[in-house]
Amino acid sequence: MSTNIYDGAYDLEKVIRSSEEFQNLKKMYDEVNADESAKTMFENFRDVQLNLQQKQMMGEEISQEEVEQAQKLVALVQQHEKISKLMEAEQRMSMVIGELNKIIMKPLEELYGSMQQ
């Protein structure tokens, strides 16, 4: 019996969408977006995050001033209850995705891991 790997992936997508972790993340995301001040603050936070990540990926040095600005912004958004809850939900979802990735990669790890023995 041949299994279509893409059918399995789409099934997994459906399971993720219906999971408690994703539903909670969506709810928190919607709450932040419904609050204009929270939405603006969160978007600014994301912009700073993305800019720093892009600099790192391009091998550019991040200045001490940029680091301090980012740290202040993190402290500020963590004080906002809705954004803080969204960030917690993001972290939980990220953990789930990480665990799923380990499961998905297990056949390759077993295959290539056995070559090193």
Candidates 1.20.1500.10, 1.20.120.1780, 3.20.20.140, 1.10.8.60; CATH matching 5-115: 1.20.1500.10
pLDDT at site 2? 61
pLDDT digits (tens, 9 = 90+) for 37-96: 999 999 999 999 999 999 999 999 988 999 898 999 999 999 999 999 999 999 999 999
Question: Residue 116 pLDDT more than 60?
Answer: no
Q: Do residues 36 and 101 touch, judged by C-beta distance below 8 A?
A: no
Residue 115: pLDDT over 70: no
> What integer pLDDT is reported at residue 113 of this predicted model?
84
Single-letter code of the amino acid located at 60: E
